[in-house]
Structure 1
Amino acid sequence: MSEKENRISVEQAAKLLGASPQFVRIGLRQGILDFGMAVKMSKHWTYVITKQKFEASTGIKVG
């Protein structure tokens, strides 16, 4: 599995959680949601959520 195939987007994570993408972004930025990382690069934030970490943390299977 390639690096990109192992990741899910903020939008996918939000849909699976029944939450808004902004909820996921802010949760990752504040360290409240532990299934991914948020890094500020210059003015923009970059988010990385791996399928395994998301599934382990939430108990929700990623299709």
Structure 2
Amino acid sequence: MLASWSAPGGSGQSCRIKGNISINTGERIFHVPGQRRYAETKISLQYGERWFCSEFEAWAAGWRKSKS
């Protein structure tokens, strides 16, 4: 199991939103805790996937929220 990323600077903020890139389409999609596919979504930093600390941060970076 992957742990969530913590924000730099010692803020203690847990960044639990998973920014995933679709293999099929290249679309950037984020998943929040409680969504159906959240637990099975893996983050691969080497492919440009990342953690977000808020939905606003993900939206501002150009990612869309998962529909499920």
Q: Which structure carries more helix by proportion?
A: 1
Structure 2 length as normaliser, TM-score? 0.29
Structure 1 length as normaliser, TM-score? 0.30
